[in-house]
Amino acid sequence: MPEDITILGTGNDDEKNPINDDVEVKGPTPVNITYAAELEIISGIPADIVAAAEGQLRALFDVTPSVPGIMPLGIGYDATKDRLNASAMVPGVKRINTDFVDVAVPDDGLAVLETLTLTWAWASEE
């Protein structure tokens, strides 16, 4: 425990000392993320596939888990191309094309989705 912290009271119910200290609570430093990608689709309804991929990507930036299998990025977690692409891989997607570059998030930072753009194209037979 740091030396400049003083704890008052014994924890006894007969001695209740109010805490009168001013406390400053700092939130994480936001790190804006812009993600744009083209989903190459092999089957299914493109609008439904894009909507599913978008939902999973947005869940990656939620405060609490909202989609099974998608754990949100927490404080200090980098936003990596691999993690974002993995979140967007839903049934019907063959591959994802994106120029996204990994974003390093400081220990006190939090990745915040600023812009999300998803397009689609039918996958080639390669």
- Stretch 66-79: mean pLDDT: 94
pLDDT bucket at 22, cuts 50 / 70 / 90: confident
The strands making up 29-41's β-sheet, listed across from edge to edge, are: 93-97, 29-41, 109-122
Could you tell me the pTM of the whole model? 0.79
Q: What would the pLDDT profile of 77-97 be if each residue is shown by its tens digit?
A: 999 999 999 999 999 999 999
What would the two tokens of residue 103 be? Answer: 């974003």
Q: What is the pLDDT of residue 15?
A: 61
At 37, is the pLDDT very low, low, confident or very high (cuts 50, 70, 90)?
very high
∠ CA 98-45-68, rounded to 5°: 70
CB 76 within 8 A of CB 108: yes
Query: Residue 2 carries which side chain, given as an amino acid letter?
Result: P
Domain residue spans in the chain?
29-122
Q: Which two tokens stand for residue 95?
A: 């591959």
